[in-house]
Amino acid sequence: MTLLLIVLLPFLGALIPPLLIRRGRTVAALAAGAVPVAALALLIPLWPTVRDGGVPRWRIPWLPQIGLEFDIRLDGLAFLFAALVLGIGVLIVVYARYYLSERDPMGRFYALLLLFMGAMTGLALSGNLLLSAIFWELTSLSSFLLIGYWTHRADARDGARTALAVTGLGGLALLGGVLLIGRIVGSFDLDVVLASGALVKADPLYPVVLTLVLLGAFTKSAQVPFHFWLPGAMAAPTPVSAYLHSATMVKAGVFLLARLFPVLAGTDLWFTLVVGAGLLTLIVGAYSAMFQNDLKGLLAYSTISHLGLITLLFGFGTAEAAVAALFHLINHATFKASLFMAAGIIDHETGTRDMRTLNGLWRTMPYTGVLAVIAASAMAGVPLFNGFLSKEMFFAETLAVPPGVAWRWVIPAAATLYGVFSVTYSIRFVYEVFFSGPGTGMPKEPHEAPRWMRIPVEVLAVLAILVGIFPNLIVRPLLTASAAATTGGVIPPIELHVWHGFNLPLLMTVIALVGGFFLFRRLNVLLSVRGGYVRSVSAKGLFDDGLFAVLRMARRLTRTLETGSLQRYVLYFVLAAIVLAVAPVVRHGWPLGAETSVPADGPLIAGWGVLVACAIGTVVWRRQRLVALIVISGAGVMVTLAFARIGAPDLALTQLLVEVVTTMLLLLALHHLPQEAAAGSSRGRLVRDGAIALTAGAGMAAITWAVLTRPFSSISTYFLENAKTQGGGTNVVNVILVDFRGFDTLGEIAVIGIAALGVTMMLDGLHADPRGRPFLMSRDRTPLILTSIARPLLPFALMMSVYIFLRGHNMPGGGFIAAILTSIAIMLQFMANGIPWTAARLRVRPQPVIAWGVLIAVATGVASMLYGSTFLDLAFTYVDFPLIGEVELATALFFDLGVYLTVVAAVILMLTALGALSSDAAAPDDYASEGDPWRS
Amino acid sequence: MSALSHLAILPILIPLVAGLICVLARGRLRPLHRAVSLVSTLAVLGVAVALAVRTGAGELLVYRPGAWPGPYGIVLVADRLAALMLVVTAMVALAAMLYATSGGDGRGRHFHAFFQLQLVGLNGAFLTGDLFNLFVFFEILLIASYCLLLYGGGERRTKAALHYVVLNLAGSALFLVGVGTLYGVTGSLNMADVAVRVALLPPTDAALVRGAGLLLLVVFGLKAAVMPLYFWLPNAYASATAPVAALFAIMTKVGVYCIVRVFTLIFGPLAGPGADTILPWLLPIALVTQFVAYGGAFAARGLRRQIGYLLIASVGTMLAAIGLFTRDGIAAGLYYLIHSTLTVAVLFLVADLLARQRGADTDRLISGPRLIEPGRIGTLFFIGAIAVVGLPPLAGFLGKAQILAAAPATASGWWLWAVTLTGSVIALVAITRAGVVLFWQTESSPAPAAPRTQGRALPVIGLVAALLALTVLAGPVTSFTTAAADQLLQPAGYISSVLGGP
Amino acid sequence: MAFLMASAIGVLVAAGIFLLLRARTFPVILGLSLLSYGVNLFLVTMGRLRGGSAPILVAGVTDQVDPLPQALVLTAIVIGFGMTAFLVVLALRARLTLGNDHVDGEEPDA
């Protein structure tokens, strides 16, 4: 439980500073500082257990299906890393309090810092590889926000983006690697994974795993060629740089190498990749560091090179090398953090970080100077400072490379060269800032920093010295515990001595110190030769160019696909349908059955001819709108006849009436569409479309044909048998519509209703250009003939509808057909008498009627629920109407009434709305503004 | 019958009645509309949860409107998958509705009516067990979506709607062809019955029945917005009003749902001549969809279009997982479906909050006025961005991890890996670019008279909370989706309970 | 008759799709109508063309044709009508607000 708290504290703590910032910056800082202190207070008591090889653990399943557990596990390595993160975290909090200016939002700063701290601690303590991957990405995300903290600065934004892109990429690679490891091992549990190194290394996927994991580690630890994000990240406030690039962010990469050391290390591939990358980074970093004029730039490249050193050591794959690596990890954390903070102080007090401007600060800032000298000496590996010891071990290891490695001699040579470079840039750091020049000409008048700003640096400097002089006393136990955890038990006795006697490593150190000194003396020459040219710029440039290239490609791809042309999209749709429908035919052939249909006769063939002619005619005359309209309704009529011929009277009736209404609608709309023929498509386009259309048509014909030749046994026999007995109607189609599948019909009227409402909504506030009188709508109030026919016609039409409606359940007819009849009759009145006259006499707003219609249908259904059955379970009895004869009076009738009302209202609403759109028969804005003439 | 026995039809009836009441209520927009809409949406959510609980306990609710036996009447079936879809829909709907009540619903008439009827269509599509009834509910949800898309007027919406409507009308025609062919071959419409009959067909019918299935795949693919049928989506979603876009986050999932339902039930491994009809098709389609969609997200010049493309990519992701047609694959895909729906809804709403404060209602990815609430909106955006890219620790990551874990060690499996991982990187870079420009690279002063988020933020925060819950409760949720996958892969239970008497 | 029906459906669908691929709203509307003619004929044909009387129960008559597809087509026709009406008005709106009748809402060269 304490373990859980250690991890959660920073996350929870992150909420506090933003809340307390009103109470003042110091309060916020204290609150923020209290968090890592508390976490440490929980962590340190566990030290004895860990030292004696115990592994405290707290776990709870999170996503057990794939083996993800929230699993906190504290071994030596985890302890070391967590201690570093939290410990230096405290110092950073203190430092930042005085570094940040009044303008900087400090609450946000501490919140983000604590978030990041939590992610790092979680990474250190995670006992489940998948969980590690999660915390890993969290560090990338939170560091992104920290690097971009000064959002107004372009370099900060760019630095943050680059850092996230690179480390995020690495993180996803790592995720892949981790998942593969889980696949090979069968678990993400660290104990299991660490125990199955042999298994993993033997697996054919091992190279892939290794590549992916290393991609993660190298991007995070800024190994060449992924190092370029680190200098860019220097745009962050110095406390952030000091934290990210000394103890935490970049160390996560090498921590990963340490964590998976037993699983992945020790193979030739590992040696080649890791040593190779480390060596390259070591040199490139150190070399570039010498030529930086920006203090933080120098430190950044030196960080890169030191990370190369640590990586290189892990690359050797031996226990001894691992110990050295961990030792240097600790030392680098201490001296690099202090150096960054020192640089920050200098920047803070002088207003610049440019070594060409800085000079002679020893006079004004001797105290800071001392601290800087100490830290720089440690960085340069001067004896009696901690950097010296781990560098000695490093040199020793480079000499201990097993024979058989072809280019083994390169490694110590490169190491020495690195030593030279590091001495050079360390000297440059100290000399150019503190000793060259009179100490004038800087943006601000320099003076010592506030007390509390120096304290963190002091602490670290003192540590650097103590470790340097009494290593065994201070770090040996920690080192032993962590090394044991890293290598998996077998570690050599660790001997830490300031004086090893005369040996090769010492010689290398001497060469480094002397060579470095002389190189520094000649540095100006080099500088002038080489100018400000910085190696990594090209890497960053390549990265940016790469991104830009991807962007261009993406833009081109999207433009070619999403052309914005509907014709293209429809084409894709049709082609997709054709391809997918044809594919199975290719594979399974197209066998036809033996079933036959009724033979064709004269009338049929004639009708067929007319239908085909009409279809083609519609295509041909598509530009002469009225002609096209007439021809297509010809096709509609033929379809109607076809329905009648194959024994579907209801269909025939419906089709015919719908045809009429649709034509009315189109005529009304047509009036507003341009009459002039629009320019047609190119010949090629027409041919192409024609070919595709014919293919699709042929396909449909083929499907129809194939189905018609097959035997058929349908559920319909049930309907024929039960329509009368169970549904109480003889018109089976109608019984199906209102009873067997009444639920469909309910949906159908809902659609009609919504469509009508949608139509009115679309016409809202739509003003037609008043180009004369719309079709059908009479301008002159009472066109005599039409009126004298229409008005008396209405009653008959209505009676007819009632009759059709009532008999619908037994004979062709029913609610829908009756409804269309009625609406046609009513539309006739509109045509004859114009909207105002008719609307005034109708006195019903159609919109509510639509709703009522559907509601009645629903109510019928709900009623049956109340009678203990399911929704829409209809009942019936028989009543004998005069004139009409025996009528089965079913609840179906109410349902059909709902249908009737909805459809009438919907049709009337749509047609009148359209008509009203440009009707000049009465105050236009009255309707045109609201497509609904009844609205008042 | 007890009231509880009607549970399965309530998700359709409640919003239907609510929608009709909204039509009856006179006037453009009155508190009554909002009240009815809110109550209805809450009620649907409650019912959905109840259904999830009961189906989660292994129950399979079959409801027969009209009380006709066996395959003859229309049947509603609530299994785990259906319940899952209902819950997700209701959650997104609630958030979108609340967001709309802060002003979005006043731009024209009938917003809440259309909104509720949209729910009718969605819920009906998830519940029905009848192919033609599915068509009917498709039409309901489509016509309602046309109206919602056009809601608020404006040229961009009209243009987008024209494409959306024409394409979907063509789709509806094709739907009828597919259903008709299946009826012509099997003589039934009830999915369970059709499944039985397809399995008994002679091998000579293979081409015909598979062709019918693949035509339906085209129809569903058009809804789900897969390559090459997604082109209507980016503009449509980018031009719809924020709450509508948020609600539409579920629309593509209808297509996904139908693919899962139809091709596990009717064209599953046991379907004789129709067996595994889309097995060779779905995964490649899904991967290509992801590829082009990530490209589109990277290329996008506006935030809404980018979100639209990320939505398409997420459809590709879940379809790739489902395309494995293994238990773990489907389970992972369903988990990812929940995540992606919530996330996309969040992002569309955040995009609106942002666009309002940038003034001139712009979401273009160029330096603009400073937001007056950068912290609030920025945090919501950041969470949404992490989720949509699939970065830790949110559900998106857990979903992708599940999908990758479910991928087999075969060529197709590795393709799935490659596309999913690289896609995530591209998405990361793309959305980072957007975020940096919109939140950091701003002018020093805010837009004149920029509105504060006020109540608008609440529904967004609610969705984010749901997202976090989905993350923390990943274990239980995944066991539900896994159980759902089991149910889908052994359709025998479904079939017997549908065809067994009334 | 099977051949006549199949070919008729084919022609309707072909004509419909060809018009659907045109650049102006009016032909597209015509195309969708032709398409739905074809599809409706197709649907009702799925109940086979074996002859027989209308599915209305009369004593002694037992050769009724399959009623189910007819019911489906009825529903399809009604829904189709609603959709057509919607599309027509949408096209109208596009024409009046965008000033052209191109399906993309703007003249290609514009």
Instruction: Tell me the per-residue pLDDT of B309-352, one tens digit each, with 9 for 90 and over.
Output: 999 999 999 999 999 999 999 999 999 999 999 999 999 999 99
Q: Is the pLDDT of residue B303 over 50?
A: yes
Residue-wise pLDDT for A386-412, tens only, equals: 999 999 999 999 998 777 766 778 899
A123-126: long-range pairs with CB below 8 Å, 24+: A123/A252, A123/A255, A124/A78, A124/A81, A124/A82, A124/A85, A124/A255, A125/A3, A125/A6, A125/A7, A125/A72, A125/A73, A125/A74, A125/A78, A125/A82, A126/A71, A126/A72, A126/A73, A126/A190
- List of chain B residues whose C-beta atoms are within 8 Å of the C-beta of residue A760: 109
Subunits with 3+ C-beta pairs closer than 8 A to B: A, C
Q: Does A716 touch chain C (CB under 8 A)?
A: yes
Q: Is the pLDDT of residue B72 over 50?
A: yes
pLDDT value for A924: 33
Residue-wise pLDDT for B395-422, tens only, equals: 999 999 999 999 999 999 999 999 999 9
End-to-end CA distance of chain B: 13
Whether the bond between A204 and the residue before it is cis, its omega within 30 degrees of 0, is no
pLDDT value for A94: 95
**pLDDT bracket for residue B439 (50, 70, 90):** very high
Q: Of C14, C74, C82, which has the smallest distance from its Cβ to A755's Cβ?
A: C82
pLDDT value for A887: 58
Q: Does A591 touch chain C (CB under 8 A)?
A: no
Q: ipTM value of the model? A: 0.97
Instruction: Taking residues A515-527, report their average pLDDT.
Output: 83
pLDDT value for A679: 66
Q: Is the pLDDT of residue A923 over 80?
A: no
Question: Tokens 């070594």, residue?
Answer: A355
Instruction: Taking residues A511-535, report their average pLDDT.
Output: 75
Q: Does A613 touch chain C (CB under 8 A)?
A: no
- What the block records as the tokens of A228 is 């370029």
Chain B residues touching chain C at CB-CB below 8 Å:
132, 136, 139, 143, 146, 150, 155, 158-159, 161-163, 165-166, 169-170, 172-173, 176-177, 180-181, 183-184, 189
Residue-wise pLDDT for A843-867, tens only, equals: 788 899 999 999 999 999 998 888 8
Q: Are B16 and B70 in contact (CB under 8 A)?
A: no
pLDDT value for A758: 95
Q: Are C37 and A611 in contact (CB under 8 A)?
A: no
Instruction: Taking residues B125-140, report their average pLDDT.
Output: 98
Instruction: Taking residues B163-176, report their average pLDDT.
Output: 97
> Alpha helix locations (H) across chain C?
2-20, 25-45, 67-98
pLDDT value for A787: 74
**pLDDT bracket for residue A624 (50, 70, 90):** confident
Residue-wise pLDDT for B361-389, tens only, equals: 688 998 889 899 999 999 999 999 999 99
Instruction: Taking residues B472-487, report their average pLDDT.
Output: 97
**pLDDT bracket for residue B247 (50, 70, 90):** very high
Residue-wise pLDDT for B177-225, tens only, equals: 999 999 999 999 999 999 999 999 999 999 999 999 999 999 999 999 9
CB contact under 8 A, C47 and A628: no
Instruction: Taking residues A517-538, report their average pLDDT.
Output: 68
Q: Is the pLDDT of residue A674 over 60?
A: yes
A936 or A491: which carries more pLDDT confidence? Answer: A491
A 566-595 → B contacts, CB under 8 A: 566, 568-570, 572-574, 576-577, 580-585, 587-591, 593
B69 or B190: which carries more pLDDT confidence? Answer: B190
Q: Does A132 touch chain B (CB under 8 A)?
A: no
Residue-wise pLDDT for C55-76, tens only, equals: 888 888 888 899 999 999 999 9
Q: Is the pLDDT of residue B246 over 70?
A: yes
Instruction: Taking residues B445-457, report their average pLDDT.
Output: 86
Instruction: Taking residues A515-530, report their average pLDDT.
Output: 79
Helices A535-561/A276-290 angle, 10° precision: 110
Length of chain C, in residues: 110
Q: Of B9, B124, B146, which has the smallest distance from its Cβ to A871's Cβ?
A: B9
Q: In the Cβ-directed half-sphere of A919, how many Cα atoms lie within 13 Å?
A: 30
Q: Is the pLDDT of residue A669 over 70?
A: yes
CB contact under 8 A, C106 and B173: no
* Rounded (5°) CA angle C16-C21-C26: 75
Instruction: Taking residues B436-452, report their average pLDDT.
Output: 88
Q: Is the pLDDT of residue A774 over 60?
A: no
A415's enclosing H/E stretch is helix A410-430
Alpha carbon B185 to its chain centroid, in Å, reads 31
* Closest residue of chain C to B187, computed from CA coordinates: C47
Residue-wise pLDDT for A677-734, tens only, equals: 666 778 899 999 999 999 999 999 999 999 999 999 999 999 999 998 888 888 999 9
Q: Are C93 and A766 in contact (CB under 8 A)?
A: yes
Distance CA A706, CA A167 (A): 59
Gyration radius of chain B over CA positions: 22
Q: Is the pLDDT of residue A922 over 50?
A: no
